[in-house]
Amino acid sequence: MKLITAIIKPFKLDDVKAALETFGVKGMTVSEASGFGRQKGHTEVYRGAEYKVDVVPKIRLEILVDDEDAEEVIDVVVKAAQTGKIGDGKVWSTTVDTVVRVRTGETGAEAL
Amino acid sequence: MKLITAIIKPFKLDDVKAALETFGVKGMTVSEASGFGRQKGHTEVYRGAEYKVDVVPKIRLEILVDDEDAEEVIDVVVKAAQTGKIGDGKVWSTTVDTVVRVRTGETGAEAL
Amino acid sequence: MKLITAIIKPFKLDDVKAALETFGVKGMTVSEASGFGRQKGHTEVYRGAEYKVDVVPKIRLEILVDDEDAEEVIDVVVKAAQTGKIGDGKVWSTTVDTVVRVRTGETGAEAL
Amino acid sequence: MEIDSGNTAWVLASAALVLLMTPGLAFFYGGMTRAKSVLNMMMMSFVSMAVAGMVWVLWGYSVAFGSEGGIPALFGGLDAWGLVGLETAVTDGLPDLAFAAFQATFAIITVALISGAIADRAKFLTWVVFIPVWLTLVYLPIAHWVWNAEGWIFKLGAIDFAGGTVVHINAGCAALALALVLGKRKGWPKEPMRPHNLPFVLLGAGLLWFGWFGFNGGSALAANETASLAFLNTIVATGAAGFGWLIVEKLRDGAATTLGIASGIVAGLVAITPAAAAMTPVGALVLGLVAGAICAVAVGLKYKLGYDDSLDVVGVHLVGGVIGALAIGVWGSAAFGADSLLAGGGIELLGKQALAVVATLAYSFIVTFIIGKVLDLTLGFRVDEEAEVSGIDLAEHAETAYDFGPSTSGGRSGAPAPVSADSKVEADA
Amino acid sequence: MEIDSGNTAWVLASAALVLLMTPGLAFFYGGMTRAKSVLNMMMMSFVSMAVAGMVWVLWGYSVAFGSEGGIPALFGGLDAWGLVGLETAVTDGLPDLAFAAFQATFAIITVALISGAIADRAKFLTWVVFIPVWLTLVYLPIAHWVWNAEGWIFKLGAIDFAGGTVVHINAGCAALALALVLGKRKGWPKEPMRPHNLPFVLLGAGLLWFGWFGFNGGSALAANETASLAFLNTIVATGAAGFGWLIVEKLRDGAATTLGIASGIVAGLVAITPAAAAMTPVGALVLGLVAGAICAVAVGLKYKLGYDDSLDVVGVHLVGGVIGALAIGVWGSAAFGADSLLAGGGIELLGKQALAVVATLAYSFIVTFIIGKVLDLTLGFRVDEEAEVSGIDLAEHAETAYDFGPSTSGGRSGAPAPVSADSKVEADA
Amino acid sequence: MEIDSGNTAWVLASAALVLLMTPGLAFFYGGMTRAKSVLNMMMMSFVSMAVAGMVWVLWGYSVAFGSEGGIPALFGGLDAWGLVGLETAVTDGLPDLAFAAFQATFAIITVALISGAIADRAKFLTWVVFIPVWLTLVYLPIAHWVWNAEGWIFKLGAIDFAGGTVVHINAGCAALALALVLGKRKGWPKEPMRPHNLPFVLLGAGLLWFGWFGFNGGSALAANETASLAFLNTIVATGAAGFGWLIVEKLRDGAATTLGIASGIVAGLVAITPAAAAMTPVGALVLGLVAGAICAVAVGLKYKLGYDDSLDVVGVHLVGGVIGALAIGVWGSAAFGADSLLAGGGIELLGKQALAVVATLAYSFIVTFIIGKVLDLTLGFRVDEEAEVSGIDLAEHAETAYDFGPSTSGGRSGAPAPVSADSKVEADA
Ligand SMILES: Nc1ncnc2c1ncn2[C@@H]1O[C@H](COP(=O)(O)OP(=O)(O)O)[C@@H](O)[C@H]1O
Ligand SMILES: Nc1ncnc2c1ncn2[C@@H]1O[C@H](COP(=O)(O)OP(=O)(O)O)[C@@H](O)[C@H]1O
Ligand SMILES: Nc1ncnc2c1ncn2[C@@H]1O[C@H](COP(=O)(O)OP(=O)(O)O)[C@@H](O)[C@H]1O
C-alpha cells in the first residue's frame, strides 16, 4: 500500500480530481497548505507600509493506493496538475504499513 | 516508531481523544481536512443557482507511537471513531525513522 | 529521499525558515495544526460559562531532503525551533520512495 | 389640525431608528450563535420585519389602537384595517400615519426578540406561521391594554413610558414559553457553545443603542423636554448597566468581557425603557447599575433551572424589564409623574406597576405556550437532530454563512479555492 | 423666507440616512462577491462617495437643478457652479443647501449602484474616470428631466416620487451596458461563485432599508402627511417584497434563503421608490409582493441571455424600478394624485409612466454603452486575466480583506501567525 | 421659553448620530488591529461609552458648561452636578437636557479616540481608570475654554465650529502622550502588523461619516442654514479628503487602497470639523483635498520618529485637526464670519487660531503624559509580554473574537468542530 502526497496549485484541484476519478481512484483527502519555494509571494501595502507575504497558497492531496497503481497515479496527478509554470508543486509517495476503513474495520486494499 | 494517521468525522474527535488518553497516548497533532469518497457532499442555492459542495469536512489526526503500540492504537482509534455510517474515514500507519522532541533533543521513545 | 515533518510553535516559523534557507533548503510546505500534549490550553468565559480550549496552535512543516542531508536538517530545525519551554514540538523523518516535480516531471534529487 | 413639523420630523426619525433595531438585533443574536446557525438566527429577525409589517398594516394597528368594533378594555376591532382612513388624519400635530409607522416598528422588534430563545433548532416555516398568530393573540391585546386610552392597564395608571411591559416583559415571557416548548438543544448544557463572532455582537449592541433613542425618545411623540429627558436617560442608564455587568464579571469570573458589556448595554436599555421619562438622570444611572448587575447574575439561572433559553432573552429582557417597571415604583421621580416610594408616594404606584407586570407576564406566558404547543403538534416546531448537528443554516436555508476561501491574506492561510463545486441554473424550474 | 425648522430637520436627517445607503450598498454588494474581491467591490462604492460629492458641488447641482444657462427641458447651465449663491437661499421654508445636500446623496448612490454589474473585473482607475463622465452625461440630464420644473418628464406629468427612473431604472440600464462592455468573468457561469459573507449582505440590506426612509420619506421635502405615507409604505412594501421573494424560492428551490430575503427587501425598496406617495398602504403591500416575486424570477434571466450582471443590478433595480413605475399607472391611488387604471383614470397615466420609463431606459443604456466603450478602448476597463483569477483586491489595491490569523478561538483552528512577512516603511518614498 | 420642536428634533437626532460614532470608531479601529486584539480595541471604545456617560451626568456637564462655582475662564463648578435643575430648562428654544445629551456624546467619542494609539497592549483596568481622570483633568477644562461663553478661547475669538480643538487636537495629543508612556509594541516596527478585517474598517468609516453629520450639523444647535452648510461641507470635504489620500497612495505606493480611502475619509471629517460653518463648499472641497493628502504622508512620521501610535491617531486626528483649524485663518469665508487671510482679513484670525491650537496641544499633551505616567507607576498601564504575544483579548478579557468552526461553507474549508472544550457553569460563584 502506498500513500501518494501531492502539493499542487489550488485552482488545479478540480482537474486533478477529475483525472483521478477517471483513472478509478475512489477517494482522497484534501487539505490547505502554504508553500515556500521558487515561486515568489506578493507584497501588500497598508498606510504606506509594505507587508510581504512570502508563501503561496497550495493544496495538499493524500491518496492511498495499491502498490501496483502508485506509479500510474503519480503520473495522472502530475499530468493533471501541470501548468508548466514555476510553483506547480511536488508529488511523492511513501510506503504504508496498514490501512483500515473505520466504518468496517476492513484492512488493506479492501479498505480503500 | 510508527506514525498513525487517521481521517475521522469532526464530531468524533472528542471521543477519539478521550479513548487515546485512556489508552495512555500522551500527545497528538490535529488538523483540518476535507474528504472525497463514498460520502456525498451537499448543495447550496444562491439566488436560484445551485452550488454543489462535493467534499465533506474531516479531521486528520497524527499520532506518533512505539512500534509495539501501533496496532492497539489503530484499534482504539477505529473503535472510537466508528459510527457505522459511510464516511467514517481511514486510519493508516507508516514507519518513522527518527523522532526528536524539540525542547530537549531527546529521540526515539523518549521523545514522545 | 526523506520527508522531515516538524510540529513547531507558530511564532518560531520565521526563525526556522531563515535557518533552513541558510542551510540551503530551497523549499518547504507549511500548514496549520493544533496540538495536544503536555502544553495546556486555556479557558474562555462567555456570560459566566467556562469554555475550555485544550489544544494549542501549531505549525506543521514538511521538508523533502536528500538522504544525506536529513540528519542535519533535523538538527537545524530543532535548534531554530527550540525555546526550552514545554510545547516546542516534535520533528520526525520518514522514507520517501519517489519525488516528482510537477512542472518538469523530474524525479529524485532533481525534483527538489 | 395643523401639523407640527418638528414633532413629526422627530417621530419619523425615531421610527427609522427603531426599525434599524431589528437588523441590529439580528447581529446581536447572530454573533452569539455558532457559525453554522448564524443565518437562521438572523433570518428569524428579518422575516419578522417582513411579516409583522404586513400584519400591522392589515389588521395590527386597528386591533391595537382602534377602539371601536372590539372590547374597549381589551382590544380594538377591524375598523381601521389596512390603515384606511388614516391617510390625512392628524392627532396632536402628528399625522396618524407617522404614529402608525412608529408603532409598526415596535411590533416588529418585539416578535424578533423572542427568537433568541430558540436558536439553532426552530423550523423556519413554523416560525413564519408563529409571527402573525402570536402578534394577533398576544402582542396586539397587550399593546391595547397599555397604550390605548381605553386599555385596562392604561386606565389603571401604571407607568410604562416606552414599552417595558408590552415589548420586553412580553417578549421575555414568550421566549421562555417557546424555549420550554422546543426543549434543549442537543448537547446543551454539556457541550460548549460559544459566540462565533463577538464583533457582530458589539455591532448589534451599538445599533440597538442607537435605535433605542428612537424607541425611548420617540415615545414622547414630540421633540420636547420629555423626549430630551428620555434620550439622556437612555445614554446614562445604558452605560451604567454595561458597567454594572462588567463589575459582576470582574468579581465573579476574573475578567470583564465584550460579551458582558454588550449584554449589559441591552439590559440597561431594557430597564430604562419603561422608566425613561419617569426618572432623573441620576436615578437612571442607579437603575442602570442595578439592572446590569442583576441581569449578569440572572443569565446563569437557566443552568440551574434547566431551560435552554439559548441567548438569554429571559435573563436580559424579562428580568431587565421587570426591574425597570418596579424601579419606577421605588425611585421614580415625582417631578416626572412617578409618585414612588422614595418620592413619598407610598406603595400605591409600586402596586400598580407590579400588577401590570404580573398580568403581562402571565398572559404572555400562557398564551404563547399554548400557541407554541399547537404549532409543535401540527407543523412541528423543531428541526430533526441531524439538521441541528450539521447546522440549521444548511438544512433550513440551503446556505452557509461564510466562505473566506483562499483570500485571507493571500498565501498566508493557504485556504484553497472552493473545491469542485458545480453551478446549475435553476431559475427556470 | 423663514425657515421651517421641522422640515429642515427632517430633510437633513434624511440626507444623512441616504448617505449611509452607499456604505450599506458596499456591504450588500461586498458580501455577495468572493473574498478575494470584496475590497474592490466596496471601494467602487466608497470612491463614488468621494468623486460624486465633488462633482455635485462643482457642477452637478447646477446642471441638474439650474434652469438658466442650459436648455430648460434637458439640462441646466453652470450658473450655480460651486453652489455659489445658495448659501442663504431658502425655498419653501427649506434652505437651498439642505436640498443640495439631500440631492448630493442621490447622485452618489446612483453611480455606486452600477458597480454591482462589474464585480471582480473592473480597472479601478477607469471606474474612477467613469464616475464624473457618467454623472455628467447621463445622471444629471435625467435628473433634470424628472425633477426640474422645466424638465420634459416633469412637464409630461409622469409620477416618480423619489427617483425610480432617475436612480433605479437608470442605474439598472447603465449596469447592463457596462456588463456588456466588460464581458463575462472568467469561468462564468460554469464556475460557481458564491457570496463570501452573507451576514454582510444582511447588514447591507438592513442599512439600505434604514437609509431608504430618508430616500423616500425625505423626498416629501417636509415632515408632513406625505412623508408619513411614504415612510409607512417603505415599511410595508419592503417587507412584502422580501416575503414575496421567499415564497418564490420556497416553491422553486425548496428553501427560503437569507440572500433571498435581502434581495427581496432591496427589490421592494426599489419598486416603492417612485410610488411611495402615490399608493395606499395596502396598495404598497401588493406592490411589494409582486415586485419581490417577479424580481426573484428576473435574476435568472442573465443565465438565459448570457450577460454577466454579476450581482443582479438589472434583475433587481431595472426590473424593480419598471414594476414600480408602471404599478402607479395601474393601481396608484387617486387620493394621492395617481389617476390610475383601477382608480378609474384610464390608461393615460400608465402611458405617461411607460413613456418616462422607456425614455430613461433608452437614453441611459445607449449613452452609458458609448461611455463604457470609449473608456474601454482608451484606458481599458478590464483587469487582465491573472489579476481576475488571483483576486482583484490584491492586483488593484495591494490589499487582502481578511487575516484571521491565529485568533479564531485560540488553538482550536490552529491558524498560524502571519507567516514570515517583512515590513518596510515606504512613507518617505 | 417656548421650545422649537424642529431645532430640538434636529439636535436629538444629531445626538443619536454622534453616539453611533463610538461604535463606528470601535469598528474603524478594531478592523485595523490583528485578530487577536480586536476585542480589546473595541472594548476600549465601548467602555468609554459607559464610563464617560456616567461622568458626564455626575459632574462633567457641570464642569464644562457651568459657570458658577468654578473659575469662569478655566472651568465650571459642581452646581449642575447630576444635571439637577436642567430638567425643564430651555435655552434658545432648545431643552437644556437635549444640549446636555448632545454634548455627552462628544465627551464619549473624544476619550475613545485616544485608544487607537495604545492598541494591543493596555491593561484594561487602567484604561477604565484613565477615562474619568482624563475627562476631568483634560477634556472638561478644554471644553470649557472653547465652548463656554466665559472660556478664554471662546473670548479670544478663535473659530472652532464643532470641536476641532476640544475633540481632535486634544485626542491626538493625548494619544501621542499615551503612546510614549506605554512604549512600542513588541516587534514594532520590524514585525508587520496588518489590519485583520478591512471591511470592518470601511464599516467604521461609513458609520463615522454618517454620525459626523450630527457632530457638525448638530453643532449649529438648530435646523437652519448654518446646519445645512455644515452638513454639505461634511459631504464634500470628506469625499475630497478620501480622494486626496488615494492620490498620494497611487503616486507613492502604486495602488489606491481601501484602508487609504477610509483613513482619508476620517482625516477629512476631522479637518472640516472646526471649519464646517466657516467655509464655502468649494473651500471645504479644497480643505478636504489638502487634509487627505497631508495626512496620508503624516502617518509615516511615526516610523521616522519612533513612537508607536498604533492606529495613527496623531497622523489623522492631530494633524487633520491642526490643518482644519489653521485653514479657517487662511481661506475661511468672510461671509460666514471668518476674516481670513484670503478673505482680506489679515493674519489676525490665523494668529488666534494658532494660539488656540498651541494652547490645546500643550495642555493636553503635558497633563495627559503626567496622568499616564502616574497610572503606569501605580496600576501599571501595560500588559505583560506574554499576554501581548499570545493576544490581549484572551489575556485581559478571557475571550477570542471569532470561531468560524466548521461552517465556512460546509465541507469546503474542512474546519473542525470546536475541539474538545468543556463547559462549566460558573454563574453561581
Ligand atoms: N523541499 C521541499 N519540501 C517540501 N515541499 C516543497 C519543497 N520544495 C518545494 N516544495 C513545495 O512545492 C511547491 C512548489 O515549489 P517551487 O519551488 O515553488 O516550484 P517548482 O516545484 O515548480 O520548482 C512549494 O510551494 C512547496 O509547497
Ligand atoms: N484512497 C483514499 N486516500 C486517502 N483518503 C481517502 C481515500 N479514500 C477515502 N479517503 C478519506 O476517507 C474518508 C471517508 O471515505 P468514504 O469513502 O467517504 O467512506 P468510508 O471510508 O466509510 O467508505 C474520505 O472523506 C476521505 O477523507
Ligand atoms: N505522540 C505524538 N504524536 C504526534 N504529535 C505529538 C505527539 N506528542 C506531542 N505531539 C505534538 O507536539 C506538540 C508538543 O508536545 P508537548 O507534549 O506539548 O510538549 P513537548 O514536546 O515540549 O514535550 C503537541 O502540541 C503536539 O502537536
In a domain, E301, yes or no: yes
Q: Which residue in D has a C-alpha nearest to residue A43's C-alpha?
A: D410
Ligand 1, atom 6, residue with closest C-alpha: C28
> What does DSSP say about strands B28-36 and C2-8: parallel, antiparallel, or unpaired?
unpaired
In a domain, D335, yes or no: yes
Distance from CA of B96 to the nearest CA of C (A): 5
Q: What is the pLDDT of residues E293-321, one digit of tens each?
A: 999 999 999 999 999 999 999 999 999 99
Q: Is ligand 2 within 6 A of the CB of residue B90?
A: yes
**What percent of chain D is modeled with pLDDT above 70?**
94
Contact F265, F209 (CB under 8 A): yes
Residue to mutate (ligand 1; options A90, A91, A93, A94; most atoms within 8 A of CB) = A90
A65: pLDDT strictly greater than 50: yes
CA distances from B8 to B59, B81, F54 (A): 5, 6, 54
Residues 6+ apart with CB under 8 A from E60: E52, E104, E107, E135, E136, E140
Residues 81-100 on F with a CB inside 8 Å of A are: none
E415 touches chain C (CB under 8 A): yes
Contact F27, F211 (CB under 8 A): no
Residue E413 has what pLDDT? 27
C-alpha cell at position F368: 495627559
E389: pLDDT strictly greater than 50: yes
Q: Give which of E242, E237, E239, E245 is closest to E293, Cα–Cα.
A: E245
Q: Which residues of E touch F287 (CB under 8 A)?
A: none
Contact between B53 and F409 using a beta-carbon 8 Å cutoff:
yes
Q: Which residue in B has a C-alpha nearest to residue C16's C-alpha?
A: B102
Domain total of chain E: 1
In a domain, E74, yes or no: yes
Q: What is the pLDDT of residues D345-368, one digit of tens each?
A: 999 999 999 999 999 999 999 999
Mean per-residue pLDDT, E128-141:
98
Residue F266 has what pLDDT? 98
Q: Give which of E132, E45, E142, E57 is closest to E100, Cα–Cα.
A: E57
Phi and psi (nearest 5°) for F177? -60, -45
Q: Please report which confidence band the pLDDT of residue D427 belongs to, taking 50, 70 and 90 as the band edges.
A: very low
Residue holding cell 416560525? D127
Q: Is ligand 1 within 6 A of the CB of residue A25?
A: no
Mean per-residue pLDDT, B58-63:
96
F16: pLDDT strictly greater than 50: yes
Among all bound ligands, the one having the nearest atom to the CA of A29 is 2
Contact between B96 and C91 using a beta-carbon 8 Å cutoff:
no
Contact B100, C74 (CB under 8 A): yes
CA distance F98 to F88: 11
Give SS3 for E190.
Answer: coil
Residue C85 has what pLDDT? 94
DSSP F359-384: HHHHHHHHHHHHHHHHHHHHT-SB--
Q: Give which of F321, F313, F308, F305 is closest to F361, Cα–Cα.
A: F321
Rounded distance from Cα C101 to ligand 1 centre (Å): 8
Q: Is ligand 1 within 6 A of the CB of residue C112?
A: yes
Q: What is the pLDDT of residues D226-285, one digit of tens each?
A: 999 999 999 999 999 999 999 999 999 999 999 999 999 999 999 999 999 999 999 999
F412: pLDDT strictly greater than 70: no
The CATH number of whichever domain residue E94 belongs to comes to 1.10.3430.10
Distance from CA of D26 to the nearest CA of E (A): 9
F400: pLDDT strictly greater than 70: yes
Contact between B111 and C90 using a beta-carbon 8 Å cutoff:
yes
Rounded distance from Cα A3 to ligand 2 centre (Å): 13
A84: pLDDT strictly greater than 90: yes
In a domain, D416, yes or no: no
Q: Is ligand 2 within 6 A of the CB of residue A64?
A: yes
The maximal CA–CA distance of chain D, rounded, in angstroms, is 74
Ligand 2, atom 6, residue with closest C-alpha: A28
Q: Is ligand 1 within 6 A of the CB of residue A57?
A: no
D192 touches chain E (CB under 8 A): no
Contact between B11 and D389 using a beta-carbon 8 Å cutoff:
yes
E418: pLDDT strictly greater than 70: no
Atom of ligand 3 nearest to the CA of B25: 1
Distance from CA of C107 to the nearest CA of B (A): 22
Mean per-residue pLDDT, D16-30:
98
Distance from CA of F332 to the nearest CA of D (A): 32
Q: How high does pLDDT run on average in chain F?
A: 93
Mean per-residue pLDDT, E96-103:
98
Contact between F419 and C51 using a beta-carbon 8 Å cutoff:
no
Rounded distance from Cα B27 to ligand 3 centre (Å): 5
Residue to mutate (ligand 3; options B20, B64, B73; most atoms within 8 A of CB) = B64
A105 touches chain F (CB under 8 A): no
Q: Is ligand 3 within 6 A of the CB of residue C10?
A: no
Atom of ligand 1 nearest to the CA of C103: 22
CA distances from E24 to D46, D91, D214, E50, E299 (A): 16, 35, 20, 15, 21
pTM exceeds 0.90 for this model = yes
Mean per-residue pLDDT, D295-318:
97
Q: Please report which confidence band the pLDDT of residue E1 belongs to, taking 50, 70 and 90 as the band edges.
A: low
CA distance F230 to D166: 40
Domain of residue D286, residue span: 5-389
User: Strand (E) positions, F270-372?
Assistant: none
Q: What is the pLDDT of residues F136-185, one digit of tens each?
A: 999 999 999 999 999 999 999 999 999 999 999 999 999 999 999 999 99
Q: What is the pLDDT of residues D133-153, one digit of tens each?
A: 999 999 999 999 999 999 999
Residues 35-74 on C with a CB inside 8 Å of A are: 64
Residue E411 has what pLDDT? 29
CA distance F317 to F114: 10
Q: Which residue in C has a C-alpha nearest to residue B96's C-alpha?
A: C94
Q: Is ligand 1 within 6 A of the CB of residue C108?
A: no
Atom of ligand 3 nearest to the CA of B64: 3
E239 touches chain F (CB under 8 A): no
**What percent of chain E is modeled with pLDDT above 70?**
94
Q: Which class for D344: exposed (0-12), middle (13-18), buried (19 or more C-beta within 10 A)?
A: exposed
Residues 6+ apart with CB under 8 A from E183: E308, E382
F126: pLDDT strictly greater than 90: yes
Q: Please report which confidence band the pLDDT of residue E70 belongs to, taking 50, 70 and 90 as the band edges.
A: confident
Distance from CA of D281 to the nearest CA of F (A): 7
Q: Give which of E289, E266, E293 is closest to E279, Cα–Cα.
A: E289
Q: What is the pLDDT of residues B16-50, one digit of tens each?
A: 999 999 999 999 999 999 999 999 899 999 999 99
Distance from CA of A68 to the nearest CA of F (A): 30
- Intra-chain end-to-end CA distance of chain B, in Å: 10
Q: Is ligand 1 within 6 A of the CB of residue C64?
A: yes
Considering only CB atoms, A57 lies closest to which of D411, D419, D420, namely D411
Residue E423 has what pLDDT? 35
Q: How high does pLDDT run on average in chain B?
A: 95
Rounded distance from Cα B36 to ligand 2 centre (Å): 6
Distance from CA of B16 to the nearest CA of F (A): 10
A100 touches chain E (CB under 8 A): no
CA distance E157 to E141: 17
CA distance D110 to D360: 14
Atom of ligand 1 nearest to the CA of C64: 3
C-alpha cell at position B96: 518513522
In a domain, F177, yes or no: yes
B46 touches chain D (CB under 8 A): yes
Q: Please report which confidence band the pLDDT of residue F88 belongs to, taking 50, 70 and 90 as the band edges.
A: confident
Q: Which residue in F has a C-alpha nearest to residue A48's C-alpha?
A: F253
* F4-13, F111-120, F189-198: segment of lowest average pLDDT: F189-198
Rounded distance from Cα A81 to ligand 2 centre (Å): 21
Q: Which residue in D has a C-alpha nearest to residue B35's C-alpha?
A: D419
Phi and psi (nearest 5°) for C45? -130, 125
B78: pLDDT strictly greater than 90: yes
Q: Which residue in D has a C-alpha nearest to residue C30's C-alpha?
A: D414
Segment-wise mean pLDDT, segments of 10 residues, chain C, 112 residues: 96 94 95 93 93 92 96 97 96 97 94 91
In this structure, what is the dihedral angle of CA atoms A83, A85, A88, A92, given to the nearest 10 degrees?
100
E32, E54, E88, E128, best to mutate vs chain F, most F CBs in 10 Å? E54
C-alpha cell at position C103: 512542472
Q: How high does pLDDT run on average in chain E?
A: 93
Among all bound ligands, the one having the nearest atom to the CA of B110 is 3
D28, D49, D108, D123, best to mutate vs chain E, most E CBs in 10 Å? D49
Q: Is ligand 3 within 6 A of the CB of residue B101?
A: yes
* B–F CB contacts, 8 A cutoff, strictly below: 48
In a domain, F248, yes or no: yes
In a domain, D26, yes or no: yes
Residues 76-115 on F with a CB inside 8 Å of E are: none
In a domain, E404, yes or no: no
